[in-house]
Amino acid sequence: MGDIIIIAVVAVGLFFAARSMRKRVKSGCCGGSVPKAPRKTLDGEKIGEKIITIEGMHCENCKNSVERQINRIDGAAAKVDLKKNIAVVSLSRAVEDAELARAVEQAGFQVVKIEGDVGSCSSI
């Protein structure tokens, strides 16, 4: 009887582990293969900076996905800090918060807040 209980507990644990792993691999996170985002430089002069607080990033693949999506926006260059769960976005033109949020969400993550303004190059 004790063997059956142990086997049942192990089976339940394996089920939840497999489910979690499938979800992460499907989203390209934690073991998926998202290539490192190339460093992007702005074409024009930096006119501002925004800091995006992001929820759900766990690994380098998450970081690369977010940087790649934000860097697709013309006039925006992102550097993601995985430990602080933020993306610092340098801007050479006015970019709406909604456009930045949409890029982060397309990468599969949630925006908590966006701080900063275009036109003020001061650090937040």
**Residue 80: band (very low, low, confident or very high) from pLDDT cuts 50, 70, 90:** very high
Q: Where are the alpha helices (DSSP H) in 27-55?
A: none
The mean pLDDT value for 27-51 works out to 76
Cα 46 to Cα 33: distance, rounded to the nearest angstrom: 32
CA–CA separation, 64 and 115 (whole Å) = 21
Asked, for residue 37, whether it belongs to a domain, the answer is no
Domain presence at residue 120: no
Mean pLDDT computed over 4-32: 76
Total domains in the fold of the chain: 1
Contact indicator for 37, 60 with CB cutoff of 8 Å: no
Higher pLDDT, 16 or 94: 94
The arithmetic mean of pLDDT across residues 33-37, rounded, is: 66
**Residues 98-110: pLDDT tens digits?**
999 999 999 999 9
What's the whole-model pTM score? 0.68
The pLDDT, as a whole number, for residue 18 is 81
- Residue 102 identity (one-letter amino acid): R
In a domain, 84, yes or no: yes
End-to-end alpha carbon distance in the chain:
62
**Percent of the chain with pLDDT strictly greater than 90:** 58
Identify which of 120, 62, 14 has the alpha carbon closest to the alpha carbon of residue 70. Answer: 62
Q: Which domain holds residue 71?
A: 48-115
Query: Cβ neighbours of residue 53 under 8 Å, at least 6 residues apart?
Result: 85, 86, 111, 112, 113, 114, 115
- State the Cα–Cα distance between residues 63 and 29, nearest whole angstrom: 9
Residue 47: predicted pLDDT: 93
In a domain, 71, yes or no: yes
Six-digit token string for 24: 């992460």
pLDDT score of 24? 59
Kindly report the CATH number assigned to the domain that includes residue 70. 3.30.70.100
More confident residue, 107 or 22: 107
